Structure 1
Amino acid sequence: MTTTRPVEAAAPPPANGAASRFVGVTLDAVDIESVGSFWAAALRGRLVETAPDRWRVQTSRRPDATEMIWINAVDRPRAGKTRVHIDVRLGDDSPGALLRAGAQVLRSPGIDPWYVLADPEGNAFCAYPSTPDRPAGMFELVVDSRDAHAQAYWWASLLDGRVEEEGAAAAVTGTAAIPWDYLVFEPVPEPKRDRNRMRWHIELTHIDTDRLVAAGAVLLGESGTAEERVWELADPEGNEFYAHPAGRFTTPAADPLTRRPSSTF
């Protein structure tokens, strides 16, 4: 069933478009070259070093493309469940190319017709068989949620999207503010306990951080100059994300809470 409804606490949607738009995701890694090389191969992109301990997987030839992954160096190895992951569509029905690039199979297709794989540092993700009308590569971002419907409507209000409900799960779609088909919220019983290894970046096109906080976000920190300000926030269920001023997005700053002491945060 597909429905839409306003989020009670969220800021009202602007009259001239989405309040924000996605501009990439960050993935923490101990071995950034290994993880970056894997995701470049998995997404048929290229790996670019943008700063010490910071790499970018660019999945489009367009310089302004937003379906990019930033690989951020951290000292702490991965622990706990993967609560934010991307889903990819395979180039064929086999994950052989991903396995050769360093993936491991966590679950083969069964009742659910897709693979669950893990990258070289154990970050789980789903890999779907190819379809004639869909290109290979990333097609959705998936977030574990206690209340998937509430999360979807909250983000839909910021991204000018509509919500598709499927049982207890929900997804944001129908908006140019995300570079993929869906932003999916998957119901899970357990609350979030640890910092997410994968976080996303948004550009604030028609909203400021005060309105985000009024809508239910929590401000965790900020850094940068007036021209390149970066805010770190958490959504109503604690998922960390970065916000950048409209028109000023360049390279996302390093994660303020996991970066080494040389950080500018």
Structure 2
Amino acid sequence: MSRVVWQDLCLDAVDVDAQSRFWAAVTGLEVADTVEHRHLTGLTPRHTIWVNAVDRPHTVKNRLHLDVDCASVADVVALGATVLAPSSETGLGWTVMADPEGNEFCAFERGDGEGAVPAYRLHGIGVDCVDAGALARWWAERFGVEAVHETEGGDWWSIAGVAVDDRMTLDFNDVPEPRTVPNRVHWDVVGLVDELLAAGATHLWDQPGWTVLADPEGNEFCVFAPRDA
């Protein structure tokens, strides 16, 4: 059985500087003091978010999006986000927003009481799927955990305890629209490429230090070899 370990997260950006500042403020991370290979840092290497320069602007709804905590939606708007679907209108427990480049994310208001908002405010990654159950189970098997079918207040699949901390989840939801463009969000893992290919991943291309694969629904992810491999 192929097993992987979470390494870090990557965001595509047209304006790397602006997006780095925005997402550092939203997530509670720090912008690393370097111009080349801009990234955000936190308590551990697993908190790292790389902000990668691309020349492709946001054009369609992202199939992977971030879920963040905030004291109020107004605070996030003040940082440069826009509101797409307020919770007061949808009746959901979160507000759908867009970052300065149009990338969708969900903001969960926690209030401004002491300890209401954690220092690290990214608590989930949402994944749009053709078959949420199948993809969740595929990734759960790769991480060596169980996928949970959630039905209270909705219908989705979730994986916990495999990313930055025990609180952060990977949440898989069925959507009607197909995947049409490369994702602007992806995660990196440590694992063995051959085992992932045997498990159903697809090879996309090679880089000097890592290999880019796609999961069974075409979502890109990067694989780094174990240090002792």
Common fold by TM > 0.5? yes
Q: Which residue of 2 aligns with 1:199?
A: 186
Q: Superposed, which structure 2 residues align to 1:173-188 within 5 Å?
A: 173=160, 175=161, 177-180=162-165, 181-188=168-175
**How far does the alpha carbon of each residue in 1:63-108 deviate from its partner, in whole angstroms, 9 at most, with x for none?**
xx31221111112211111110110111x2x122211111111111
Q: Superposed, which structure 2 residues align to 1:128-207 within 5 Å?
A: 128-130=108-110, 135=118, 137-167=121-151, 168-173=155-160, 175=161, 177-180=162-165, 181-204=168-191
Q: Which residue of 1 aligns with 2:6?
A: 22
1:61 matched to 2:61? The reply is: no
Measure, in 2, the Cα distance between the counterparts of 1:46 and 1:103.
18
Q: Which residue of 1 aligns with 2:194?
A: 210
Q: What's the CA shift for 1:61?
A: 3.1
Question: Could you tell me which amino acid in structure 2 is paired with residue 193 of structure 1?
Answer: T
On the 8 A contact 1:159/1:178 being kept in 2, the answer is no
**RMSD of aligned C-alpha atoms?**
1.8
5+ long unaligned stretches in structure 2 = none
5+ long unaligned stretches in structure 1 = 1-11, 14-18, 249-265
Q: What's the CA shift for 1:133?
A: 6.7
**1:219–1:49: structure 2 CA closer, same or farther, 3 Å change rule?**
farther
1:241 matched to 2:225? The reply is: no
Q: 2:104 aligns with which of 101, 119, 124?
A: 124
SS of match in other structure, 2:7: strand
Measure, in 2, the Cα distance between the counterparts of 1:232 and 1:49.
27
Q: What's the CA shift for 1:166?
A: 2.2
Q: 2:19 aligns with which of 23, 28, 35?
A: 35
Q: 1:104 aligns with which of 82, 92, 96?
A: 82
Measure, in 2, the Cα distance between the counterparts of 1:160 and 1:214.
16
Q: Which residue of 2 aligns with 1:8?
A: none
Measure, in 2, the Cα distance between the counterparts of 1:49 and 1:74.
20
Measure, in 2, the Cα distance between the counterparts of 1:203 and 1:184.
20
SS of match in other structure, 1:152: helix
SS of match in other structure, 1:66: helix
In percent, how many aligned pairs have the same letter?
35
149-158 vs 19-28, which deviates more?
19-28
Question: Could you tell me which amino acid in structure 1 is paired with residue 43 of structure 2?
Answer: R
Measure, in 1, the Cα distance between the counterparts of 2:67 and 2:134.
22
Q: Which residue of 1 aligns with 2:31?
A: 47
Q: Superposed, which structure 2 residues align to 1:62-81 within 5 Å?
A: 62=44, 65-81=45-61
Question: Could you tell me which amino acid in structure 1 is paired with residue 19 of structure 2?
Answer: V
Measure, in 2, the Cα distance between the counterparts of 1:178 and 1:107.
27
130-139 vs 158-167, which deviates more?
130-139
Which structure: greater helix fraction? 2
Measure, in 1, the Cα distance between the counterparts of 2:35 and 2:194.
30
Scaled by the length of structure 2, the TM-score of the pair is: 0.88
User: How many residues matched?
Assistant: 217
Question: Could you tell me which amino acid in structure 1 is paired with residue 80 of structure 2?
Answer: G
